[in-house]
């Protein structure tokens, strides 16, 4: 089955349609965000022909890939992980050039990407995703006999994945959406983000090499880079695509949602869009450690130039001297913070525009801006307002993507509760509390759980652990679908659907439902979990 893995760290500027390279006459270039200089080489932008070719190939790959055994699919994911690792230094260097992100961050992100692929390999092997369920026949039941019913989950179909600008590895070509869709048995067509086309192509070639080494149909993976919205629209509109994974702006996510809903066959879109990730500074915590909280906040806010979905963009405290002490300490740290280059000139322009627009709203003041210079850097910002103003102006809850936050001084706990109730859906909500605050927090946690996918205590929301219990999701508009997560093992469920088999002869049953249980699954039989112990 498995052949030798051959990964070539080549950047040819090509579109990768299964095993074939394609080129187009419509080209674009990557830009070094620190210098603004265009990088070599020119990249072919995929168009509608390439979308159609990649989707046809994915469709052809679906029958065999979706029914591949856990061992084959897990082996493939492990091989993708190895292949990404084999890209070595060339991947890191190219990613630094295209994104301006620091080496340590990109090395960490690579480790996370590889770890995520291996985690999903283990998820596939463990087989709980199959949800194998058997209700044996009851031929003597009255008034009617019960048939033999067996259920499993199977792959939904081919999946379109949109690479994210802010995670060029972990949420791009072979990132979390791709890993979970492949784990589910879905062929993947990636729309490559134009901000890191060379990084994308390197990883795409690694995935392709793993497809070949695993003996899979070449249509299991294709890579369509390009700068136009039309490319993404064409991909989501293709009838052979059955689900979409997206991480990006609210505008982009909503546009894809409209395309998906307007298809003759609507399909699910898992878009992770925007959040301000409210942080509640409770009185006891503020009293005990306002300076430490300010330091932790600014560190989280400015990490990666604030270009995280979980960036803490909204702080809420009850007005008083402790909030003032926090604000002063935070303002000092903001002024002294070193600016990092943002991912693209466009993101930086939108950040500056967003901060200026927010600062211009009635009742908003600028408490501090970063004062240091840096190439392509975006100075951090802390804005302030009060609770009444925040409640009166829903625009104050909008995301400023980058290192900017607004501190809201609420009049009292009642106003804090009203602010929480008025918030749109969020990825995270954080409480900073001391033991003395627990009686307050007990009332806030259920309200926050209705607004966010993850509740944190005494931490900062940046840094998303890839683990079974993780939820990186949340009610609209944080995501388009609050029933799921895009990080963690649960993400595989986004790309599965249940199928029931009634009274099928043994020979016709799919393997995970056969009496001899060849996949050694833990199955639910007559309502009770039946683990296997023979593995």
Selected from 4, 40, 89, 503, the binder of its own copies by CB under 8 A is 503
Nearest approach, Cβ of residue 295 and its own copies (Å): 18
- The closest of 371, 327, 396, 12 to 198, measured between CA atoms, is 12
Catalytic residue among 186, 201, 309, 415: 309
Confirm or reject binding of residue 441 to its own copies (CB under 8 A).
Answer: yes
- Distance between terminal CA atoms of the chain? 22
| 286-315 burial: b if 16+ Cβ within 10 Å, else e | bebbbeebbebbbebbbbbbbbbbbbbbbb
CA distances from 516 to 502, 513, 519 (A): 17, 8, 9
Residue from 1, 38, 230, 499 binding its own copies (CB under 8 A): 499
Choose the stretch contacting its own copies; rule: CB under 8 A; options: 147-155, 214-222, 311-319, 356-364.
147-155
Q: Which of 50, 272, 399, 415 is catalytic?
A: 272
Decide: 173 and 196 in contact? Cβ < 8 Å. Answer: no
Using CB under 8 A, pick the residue from 500, 515, 518, 532 that binds its own copies: 500
Token pair recorded at residue 506:
């043994």
Q: Does 365 bind its own copies (CB under 8 A)?
A: no
Judged by CB under 8 A, the number of residues near its own copies is: 79
- Strand 149-155 and strand 133-135: the pairing is antiparallel
What are the φ and ψ backbone dihedral angles of 481, each rounded to 5 degrees? -150, 95
The reply on whether position 449 binds its own copies by CB under 8 A is yes
Determine contact, residues 416/423, Cβ cutoff 8 Å: no
Binders of its own copies in range 149-208 (CB under 8 A): 149-151, 154, 156-157
Q: Which of residues 38-97 bind its own copies (CB under 8 A)?
A: 62-63, 67
Closest approach of its own copies to the CB of residue 468, in Å: 5
CB of 377 to its own copies, least distance (A): 26
Site stretch for its own copies (CB under 8 A), options 18-26, 50-58, 393-401, 445-453:
445-453
Find the binding residues for its own copies in span 400-429 (CB under 8 A).
425
Strand partners, 48: none
SS3 347: helix
**Other C-beta atoms within 10 Å of 6: how many?**
11
Give the strand pairing for 426-432 and 452-457: parallel
Residue from 115, 266, 394, 515 binding its own copies (CB under 8 A): 266
- By C-beta, is 224 or 259 nearer to its own copies? 259
Cβ closer to its own copies: 213 or 276? 276
Secondary structure letter of residue 340 according to DSSP: P
Among 483, 518, 532, 535, interactor with its own copies by CB under 8 A: 483
Question: Is 465 considered catalytic here?
Answer: no
The Cα 435–Cα 256 span in angstroms is 45
User: What is the edge-to-edge ordering of all strands in the sheet holding 188-192?
Assistant: 20-22, 15-17, 221-225, 188-192, 158-162, 241-247, 269-272
Tell me which of 41, 85, 354, 482 binds its own copies, using CB under 8 A. Answer: 482
Is residue 507 a contact residue for its own copies (CB under 8 A)? yes
Q: Does 508 bind its own copies (CB under 8 A)?
A: yes
Q: Least distance to its own copies from the beta carbon of 237, Å?
A: 15
Report in angstroms how near the CB of residue 123 gets to its own copies at its nearest.
9
**309 assigned to active site:** yes
Beta strand 149-155 with 221-225 is unpaired
Binding mask 457-476 for its own copies (x = CB under 8 A): xxx---x-x-xxxxx-x-xx
Considering only residues 96 to 135 of the shown chain, the ones binding its own copies according to CB under 8 A are: 108, 126, 133-135
Residues forming the active site: 272, 309
């Amino acid at each position: 089955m498995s052949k030798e893995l051959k990964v070539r760290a080549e950047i040819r500027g090509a579109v990768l349609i299964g095993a074939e390279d394609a080129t187009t006459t419509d080209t674009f270039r990557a830009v070094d965000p620190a210098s603004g200089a265009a990088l070599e080489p020119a990249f072919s932008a995929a168009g509608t022909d390439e979308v159609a070719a990649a989707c046809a190939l994915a469709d052809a790959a679906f029958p065999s890939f979706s029914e591949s055994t856990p061992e084959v699919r897990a082996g493939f994911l492990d091989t993708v992980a190895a292949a990404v690792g084999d890209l070595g230094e060339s991947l890191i260097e190219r990613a630094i050039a295209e994104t301006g992100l620091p080496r340590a961050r990109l090395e960490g992100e690579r480790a996370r990407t590889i770890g995520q692929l291996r985690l999903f390999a283990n998820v596939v092997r463990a087989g709980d995703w199959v949800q194998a369920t058997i209700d044996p026949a009851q031929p003597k039941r009255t008034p009617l006999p019960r048939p033999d019913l067996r259920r499993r989950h199977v792959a939904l179909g081919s999946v379109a994945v949109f690479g994210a600008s802010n995670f060029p590895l972990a949420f791009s070509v072979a990132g979390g959406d791709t890993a979970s869709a492949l784990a589910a048995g879905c062929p993947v067509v990636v729309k490559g983000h134009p901000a890191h086309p060379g990084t994308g192509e390197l990883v795409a070639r690694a995935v392709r090499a793993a497809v070949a080494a695993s003996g899979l149909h070449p249509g299991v993976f294709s890579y369509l880079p390009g700068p136009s919205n039309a490319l993404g629209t064409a991909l989501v509109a293709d009838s052979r695509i059955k689900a979409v994974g997206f991480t990006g702006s609210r505008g982009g996510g909503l546009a894809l949602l409209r395309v998906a809903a307007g298809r003759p066959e609507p399909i699910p879109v898992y878009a992770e869009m925007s959040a301000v990730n409210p942080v509640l500074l409770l009185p006891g915590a503020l009293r005990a450690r306002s300076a430490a909280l300010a330091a932790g906040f600014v560190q989280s806010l400015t990490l990666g130039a604030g270009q995280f979905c979980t960036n803490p963009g909204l702080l809420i405290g009850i007005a008083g001297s402790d909030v003032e002490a926090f604000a002063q300490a935070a303002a000092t740290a903001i002024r002294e913070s070193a600016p990092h280059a943002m991912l693209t000139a466009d993101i930086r322009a939108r950040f500056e525009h967003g901060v200026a627009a927010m600062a211009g709203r009635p009742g908003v003041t600028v408490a501090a801006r970063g004062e240091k210079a840096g190439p392509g850097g975006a100075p951090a910002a802390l804005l302030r307002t009060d609770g009444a103003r925040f409640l009166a102006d829903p625009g104050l809850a909008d995301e400023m993507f980058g290192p900017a936050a607004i501190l809201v001084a609420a009049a009292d706990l009642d106003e804090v509760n009203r602010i929480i109730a008025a918030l749109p859906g969020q990825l995270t909500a954080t409480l900073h509390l001391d033991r003395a605050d627990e009686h307050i927090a007990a009332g806030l946690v259920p309200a926050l759980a209705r607004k966010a996918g993850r509740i944190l205590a005494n931490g900062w929301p940046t840094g998303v652990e890839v683990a079974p219990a993780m939820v990186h999701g949340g009610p609209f508009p944080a995501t388009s679908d609050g029933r799921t997560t895009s990080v963690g093992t649960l993400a595989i469920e986004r790309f599965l659907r249940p199928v029931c088999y009634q009274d099928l002869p043994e020979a016709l049953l799919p393997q995970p439902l056969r009496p001899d249980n060849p996949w050694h699954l833990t199955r639910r039989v007559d309502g009770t979990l039946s683990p296997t112990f023979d593995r």
